[in-house]
Amino acid sequence: MKKALILSISSLMVIAFLSSCGDGQVKSDTTVSSSGSDYAIDSINKQVKDFYIDGFPGGSAQLNNNENLEKMKNIVSRVKPLIDQIPDGYAMQITGHCADYDSAAKQKSVSTARAKKVYDELKKAGANESKMTYKGVGTDEPIPGVDGKDPSQRRVSFKAIKK
């Protein structure tokens, strides 16, 4: 009985070993992987996707409320190290936004001033200018599902982009 049990277990082990060896063919992976730079940019963008500096008064690029100024300093301190990690050929785009008031020209001007304000704060914090860019988009990139006139549309956002 003992010999039969040992023989059965041995047979199962041999069968398991042989089946794990396969047919000897090497299979190649046909999945295209992202380059290291793309992976780094994706990682940075995941980190900054929820970073917004808001609290801007209508028609202004100035943050007067201490709480909003502290929030901007906090975000700047979190974005600056990410800018340092951006690979060559990419930059952190700082984008200013507006709520849907006034004319399109005024919206563009104010949103650009908001983005420049944050750009200047990052520069003061030591962020590399060649790894940053800024632009104002007025009301062209609203927060989805939020009314265009809502004050939360008055913000600055971040995204790493190819230069």
Decide: helix, strand or coil at residue 126.
coil
Range with the largest mean pLDDT of 32-36, 69-73, 108-112: 108-112
Average pLDDT, the chain: 84
Q: Average of pLDDT values for 123-149? A: 96
Model pLDDT, residue 23: 44
Model pLDDT, residue 144: 94
Least confident of 24-33, 38-47, 106-115, 120-129: 24-33
Model confidence over 88-114: pLDDT tens digits?
A: 999 999 999 999 988 999 999 999 999
Class of domain 51-163: alpha beta
Domain residue ranges in the chain: 51-163
Model pLDDT, residue 157: 98
62-78 burial: b if 16+ Cβ within 10 Å, else e: ebeeeebeebbeebbee
Which distant-in-sequence residues (6+ apart) come within 8 Å of 98 by Cβ?
Answer: 107, 110, 111, 114, 136, 138, 139, 153, 154
For strands 52-54 and 90-96, give the pairing.
unpaired
Q: Is the confidence at residue 6, as pLDDT, over 70?
A: no
